[in-house]
């Protein structure tokens, strides 16, 4: 069987050797999609990026659509024009991604706004490389915990009840929640448990936000 010739980027170790595990993937399409994503994030048109990188509009279009295999020099020029490292263009093929494993009972206790009201937060995972922040918590409200319905922060939040019963507020609405109930909402509106009906209450809370905005 004929083996596929390695690209310049593979030979230099910028991306994994696709003959081992990703041979069926179209490298040109992956790289083109990454260039398009970074271009749109930078709010650049194809024409503007082509001019910055010293390319024709036609060549730029072919690269983004995976219709040609650009040289390492061309990719380097595009990365410079986008203000990103060259390796960022190969992120979809990077096999060494963030991973977080938290064994049972070892979640990291975190101080947040509800801590003073007796809300126990256990952080169940953490990532640092993505532009989107995701914070998964297990929250426990016990006998001495106080209701608090005025949490506000950027992003969206997903809640899944594990144990107990409570009334949860979001904006002007309230929701009775018990085991198996779920709630997904825009977390800029005031929210939180306003009445504890059956303690202990335990639920999962997953907060997602842009790292440019942060959470509190």
CATH architecture for residues 108-210 = Sandwich (2.60)
Mean pLDDT of the chain: 81
Answer with the residue of higher pLDDT: 152 or 118: 152
pLDDT in tens, 51-83: 999 999 999 999 998 888 888 889 989 999 998
Query: Domain limits of the chain?
Result: 12-93, 108-210
The CATH classification number of 12-93 equals 1.10.260.40
Evaluate whether 174 touches 162 at the Cβ level (below 8 Å): no
How would you label 61-80 residue by residue, b for 16+ Cβ within 10 Å and e otherwise? bbbbebeeebeeebbebbbe
pLDDT in tens, 174-185: 999 999 999 999
Global pTM reads 0.54
């Amino acid at each position: 069987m004929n083996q596929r010739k390695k690209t310049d980027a593979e030979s230099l170790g910028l991306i994994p050797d696709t003959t081992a595990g990703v041979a069926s993937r179209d490298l040109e399409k992956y790289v083109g999609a990454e260039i398009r994503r970074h271009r749109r994030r930078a709010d650049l048109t194809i024409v503007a990026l082509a001019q910055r990188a010293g390319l024709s509009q036609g060549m730029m279009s072919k690269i983004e659509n995976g219709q040609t295999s650009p040289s390492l020099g061309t990719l380097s020029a595009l990365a410079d024009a986008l203000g990103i490292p060259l390796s960022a263009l190969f992120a979809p093929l990077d096999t060494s991604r963030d991973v977080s494993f938290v064994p049972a009972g070892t979640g990291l206790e975190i101080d947040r706004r509800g801590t003073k009201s007796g809300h126990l937060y256990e952080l169940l995972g953490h990532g640092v490389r993505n532009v989107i922040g995701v914070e998964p918590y297990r929250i426990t409200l016990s006998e001495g915990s106080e209701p608090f319905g005025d949490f506000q922060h950027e992003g969206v939040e997903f809640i899944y009840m594990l144990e107990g019963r409570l009334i949860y507020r979001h904006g002007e609405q309230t929701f009775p929640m018990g085991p198996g109930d779920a709630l997904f909402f825009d977390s800029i509106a005031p929210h939180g448990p306003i009445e504890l009906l059956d303690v202990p209450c335990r639920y999962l809370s997953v907060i997602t936000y842009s790292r440019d905005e942060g959470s509190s």
